[in-house]
Amino acid sequence: MDFRHEENQERPNGGGRRFGLLGMHKLSGGEKTVVAICILMSLQVCNPAPFYVFDEMDAALDPRYRSNIRNVFQANGKHAQYFITTFREELLHLPDAHIYQVEFESRTSKMAKCDSETALALLQIS
């Protein structure tokens, strides 16, 4: 992802185009999500945590980015555990994933393990 933009100013040394960095406020929600995940994964390399919790972090991402994020989690899965809540299909296809259905009943959350086919069916209903 290239966050550079072309400015309409001449460079002081007289040559070519000048590029500047976009501020975070100019990025879309999906682009901000990708930047945040990249920062977290970079920190994991330097100072790893035993687990990470992501609550619907893929909501603003298009399918291509969700698949790329799945690949990042898959590549780093040996070094940490990831707890991810999602309403999207792409993250259900992680190898060795434990998938749980969460229900809210009588002011109490209940979790039950389910397979990927059941999870996909639940996603299509909602």
How many domains does the chain fold into? 1
In tens, the pLDDT along 108-126 reads: 999 999 998 899 998 887 6
Length of the chain equals 126
User: Any idea what DSSP says for residue 5?
Assistant: E
Give the C-alpha separation, 85 to 102, whole Å.
10
- The burial class, CB within 10 Å (0-12 / 13-18 / 19+), for 60 is middle
In tens, the pLDDT along 8-66 reads: 445 455 555 555 566 777 888 888 898 898 888 888 888 888 999 999 999 989 999 99
Rg of the chain over Cα atoms, rounded to whole angstroms, equals 19
For residue 12, the model assigns a pLDDT of 52
Does residue 108 sit in helix, strand or coil?
strand
For residue 8, the model assigns a pLDDT of 46
For residue 108, the model assigns a pLDDT of 94
State how beta strands 99-105 and 108-114 pair.
antiparallel
In tens, the pLDDT along 69-93 reads: 888 888 887 878 889 998 888 888 8
**Host domain of residue 119:** 4-125
Looking up residue 95, the CATH number of its domain turns out to be: 3.40.50.300
